[in-house]
Amino acid sequence: MIKTKKNRTSFFLALFFLIFIKSVSSFAQNFSSDLYLQTSEVNNTMVHYEADKGSIMRFYATNSNADTFGVQYNEGNYNTPERRNRRLQLISDYKKTLEGLNFDAMNINGKVDYILFSRNLSSEEYELVQQQKLYDKIKVYFPFDEKIYALEKPRRRGLKVNGETVAKELEDLRIAIKEQIKKVEKIEGLDKASSEFAVLHAKGLQEILKNYFDFYNGYDPLFSWWVPKTYTEVDAVLAEYAILLKSKRKDASTQKDDGSGIVGNPIGREELIRQLQTEFIPYSPEELVAIANKEFAWCDAELLKASREMGFGDNWKAAQEKVKNSFVAPGDQPQAMLDLYNQSVDFLKQNNLLTIPPIAEESWRMYMMSPEAQKINPFFLGGESLIISYPTSTMSYSEKMMSMRGNNPNFSRATIHHELIAGHHLQQFMRDRYKAYRHFDTPFWVEGNSLYWEMLLWDLKFPQTPQDKIGMLFWRMHRCARIIFSLNYHLGKWTPQQCIDFLVDRVGHERANAEGEVRRSFVGGYSPLYQIAYMLGGLQFTALKEELVTSGKMTYQQYHDAILRENAMPIELLRALLTNQPLQRDFKTSWKFYKL
């Protein structure tokens, strides 16, 4: 019983204070319980789509491995017209399913899933339509492909065949292909995209015939007596035709060889903007170059500070040269990398930066990179396995020196956390365990988050010496340079050789490494936006950190755990999730995460 007014006042003040403290302290708990739900209103639809897509991809596949138990389909770039049309129909069906869902009644997880799943469907549809346009251009060179499809369709259900009839059909097919070879020999040439797609189509037809042959041969006695020789001849002329189509490629690129030996295919401003919009990046290519130049200017200033601290004045290249030559002796690199890893993880734990599951620490592995692989990837790689790049006895003196200099401890100190914890290894570990139904992979999240850790650890004083700083700045400058040279290349402003020279002069790359970097960027199978995603994604995560952590709404640990438990996605939608933004079905990118 409260007997006095003073006691009552004290009681209510204490009660108010406890309620306030509880509301603040439970923010993360309530936030987490709502946010970390392992499902959403769109979950089942997304899971069903992936399963249905997998069934269709396997059923209409062109290679026999796709029908084998335990072998996953590989989407690749090739679809038969039949599979392409079936996939387009599936996408259309799921778009209708999405439209029938009550978007307004969904929680924030459901709305984000809806927007991004819709985006995925539209992106897949766009790629398939582009493939169809290419097929429409090259189908005139394949008047015989329907004969091959006609053989394959009944094979899927194991219908009995007449071996003599099949041999006759294959002989007719061989003659038709030989006639087509004579016609194509007379044409002047095909553009790059048409030639590549035609070669892919020819190889796909070979795979279909191989499926067909392998199914019956040895199991059907008359088929095995009549067909093998003729099948071998048809396979040979198809292979010959693929080689001919490849030789007819002309105008391989809108950019000619400038002496670098690197001939890519700049995609142009319009396509860059389309892809940026798909990744929810609301800046023009020119604005992104300006952002990179501004970040580069910051790196320049910090680099000069470190150079002066080392006693080299403004000659930062001499300071960097000193750092490059700090490599460890042959045989010592694995232990040196482990030491750097331990320093990095200890720093993360001491500063309570995130939750590190014990099994994640326990289960990463270590391998050595082969000399052949080092020619393509001169620096170490990471993920569930740390793949160390360092010389072997079989490498030449110049190759050994390039490898050791490029993988010196100060350079490696800057990226060990990028590759393992809290970077790619921890990303993969968490993505397998939280909202694994989300298939919204984007390099702006995957590479951007790893780059963000490099930026954050700099801010938290992880580099202790000027040598450490020069190591970290090398990679940060490298990521700025990637934006500048890759966008200028795709805008048609720079040649590959200009890109190489830029990396050597402005970042301090070994020339061979710079050539490898540019070659991988333009002819190595990376998407045009992949190289810009490191720095831009890192800047997005940094801006979101300012909004949530610096403002006091979340701790570092809460913020970083939330990122990993939402799985990969465009960061503007991650921001919408973490800030519980109101969303509409037709969400468009608008987040200006960087002030120019």
Where in the chain are the domains? Answer: 43-138, 142-247, 271-578
Q: What percent of the chain shows pLDDT beyond 90?
A: 74
DSSP bridge partners of 381: 387
Contacts of 407 (CB under 8 A, 6+ apart): 327, 333, 378, 379, 380, 388, 389, 390
| pLDDT tens, residue by residue, 6-17 | 455 554 444 444
* Mean pLDDT of all residues belonging to the chain: 89
Contacts of 381 (CB under 8 A, 6+ apart): 369, 387, 389, 419
Q: How far is CA 195 from the centre of its chain?
A: 26
3-state secondary structure of 190: strand
Question: Regarding predicted confidence, which is higher, 372 or 368?
Answer: 368
The predicted pLDDT at position 225 comes to 97
Averaged pLDDT, 134-150: 96
Question: Regarding predicted confidence, which is higher, 417 or 574?
Answer: 574
The angle that helices 285-309 and 530-545 make with each other, rounded to 10 degrees, is 80
Averaged pLDDT, 457-482: 95
Contacts of 415 (CB under 8 A, 6+ apart): 379, 380, 454, 475
Is residue 278 scored above 70 in pLDDT?
Answer: yes
Using CA atoms, how far residue 17 sits from 24, 30, 122, 553, in Å, is 11, 19, 51, 19
Q: Is 383 left (phi over 0), alpha (psi -120 to 50) or beta?
A: left
Give the separation between CA 490 and CA 482, rounded to whole angstroms. 12
The predicted pLDDT at position 16 comes to 45
Averaged pLDDT, 175-204: 93
| pLDDT tens, residue by residue, 503-521 | 999 999 888 888 888 988 8
Give the separation between CA 444 and CA 279, rounded to whole angstroms. 8
Averaged pLDDT, 442-452: 97
352, burial (CB in 10 Å: exposed 0-12, middle 13-18, buried 19+): exposed
Side-chain-side CA neighbours of 152 within 13 Å: the count stands at 22
* The one-letter amino acid at 369: M
The predicted pLDDT at position 61 comes to 87
The predicted pLDDT at position 346 comes to 97
Averaged pLDDT, 343-348: 96
The torsion angles phi and psi of 53, rounded to 5 degrees, stand at -60, -45
The predicted pLDDT at position 295 comes to 98
Per-residue pLDDT band for 422 (boundaries 50, 70, 90) equals: very high
